[in-house]
Amino acid sequence: QVALYKSVPTRLLSRAWGRLNQVELPTWLRKPVYSLYIWTFGVNMKEAAVEDLHHYRNLSEFFRRKLKPQARPVCCLHSVISPSDGKILNFGQVKNCEVEQVKGVTYSLESFLGPPISTEELHFSQAPPGNSFQQQLVTKEGNELYHCVIYLAPGDYHCFHSPTDWRVSHRRHFPGSLMSVNPGVARWIKELFCHNERVVLTGDWKHGFFSLTAVGATNVGSIRIYFDQDLHTNSPCYSKGSYNDFSFISNNNKEGIPMRKGEHLGEFNLGSTIVLIFEAPKDFKFHLKAGQKIRFGEALGSL
């Protein structure tokens, strides 16, 4: 069954769905189409910056609707906030170079992030290459590596934001498959997140290594990073099994891309998954429960 599902041309289907989403709907058809979607997925339109359904010319615009400015207050008391609305699938310390996508189902940290990035692109020195991949990411003595997985359902707000104050130095794009990341499928397919198309943003925050990965899914081939105009996801010119790198460190910009906590970072079409993997001192504590709903701006954890 797994092999049969993996053989489905999800990238092609997702591109077709993307084109369909961009077809402009007649004004008279917009309200019934969007109302059906709202009813099916429990969308709260009272939070939308524009509540009038006739405003959205196509499904793509409706999926990517913005929120009212005060709909998601950003928590100032905690060092890491949720970058998006969604459901907490898993969180905790990374152990033995393995990360849990859902409880009991793991994937390889190195397969997910890809080979180590050149130290010239990062603002800190890395551990000797003889150490494990996980140990190479931890740059300060006494620190641990942590992870958090947030699943965005189709009815959620689809933009994502910076979870903390950090600097983005590198982007790695894995074309990959576009299988569903629904928690039920995540329990079924080991290393699902390593198979799927994803965009890994890597950099540093005040405690060392920090990364945010936007994972694509069926009908979510479009991942947009606002400051990265060169990124084109679910494109037929990229083959699965490869990856391409882009550095934001240059002679003119040695600092990379500075991001403030809560700042707009990117968006999905439909729903998908955000994975945070970061370094922090041993007394870092998550303020979460597995399976809980969370909204952008709420606390994930702090020291």
User: Residue 105 is which amino acid?
Assistant: V
Q: 50 or 270, which is more confident?
A: 50
Query: pLDDT confidence of 263, banded at 50, 70, 90?
Result: very high
Burial of 227 (0-12, 13-18, 19+ CB in 10 A): middle
Could you say which of 14, 79, 162, 272 is catalytic? 272
Average pLDDT, the chain: 83
3-class DSSP state for residue 168? Answer: strand
- With a cut of 90, say whether residue 31 has pLDDT above it: yes
Read off the pLDDT of each residue in 118-125 and give the average, rounded to a whole number: 53
Query: pLDDT confidence of 5, banded at 50, 70, 90?
Result: very low
Active site residue 85: yes
Read off the pLDDT of each residue in 230-255 and give the average, rounded to a whole number: 77
Could you say which of 85, 156, 204, 228 is catalytic? 85
Active site residue 52: no
3-class DSSP state for residue 3? Answer: helix
Query: pLDDT confidence of 7, banded at 50, 70, 90?
Result: very low
3-class DSSP state for residue 182? Answer: coil
3-class DSSP state for residue 108? Answer: strand
Say how far apart CA 1 and CA 183 lie, in whole Å.
Answer: 17
Please tell me the least confidently modeled range out of 46-55, 66-75, 244-253.
Answer: 244-253
Tokens of 77: 């008391």
pLDDT of residue 283: 92
Q: 215 or 17, which is more confident?
A: 215
Could you say which of 161, 170, 173, 207 is catalytic? 161
Q: Please state the pTM of the whole predicted model.
A: 0.87
Tokens of 249: 């460190």
For 127-197, strand residue ranges (E) read 143-151, 159-161, 166-174
Helix segments in the chain, DSSP class H: 2-6, 10-21, 27-41, 59-63, 109-113, 133-137, 183-188, 192-195
pLDDT tens digits, 185-222 = 666 566 677 778 889 999 999 999 999 999 887 655 57
- With a cut of 90, say whether residue 3 has pLDDT above it: no
Query: pLDDT confidence of 43, banded at 50, 70, 90?
Result: very high
pLDDT tens digits, 89-102 = 889 999 888 877 65
Phi-psi region at 47: left, alpha or beta (left = phi > 0; alpha = psi -120 to 50): alpha
Say how far apart CA 175 and CA 184 lie, in whole Å.
Answer: 23
The pLDDT > 70 percentage for the chain reads 77
Neighbours of 222 (CB within 10 A): 24
Of 140, 131, 158, nearest to 47 (Cα)? 158
Say how far apart CA 263 and CA 176 lie, in whole Å.
Answer: 28
Active site residue 228: no
Burial string for 68-103 (b: 16+ CB within 10 Å, else e) reads eeebbebbeebbbbbbbbbbbbbbeebeebebbbbe
Neighbours of 151 (CB within 10 A): 23
pLDDT of residue 118: 64
pLDDT of residue 2: 47
Query: pLDDT confidence of 1, banded at 50, 70, 90?
Result: very low
User: Residue 257 is which amino acid?
Assistant: I
pLDDT of residue 189: 67
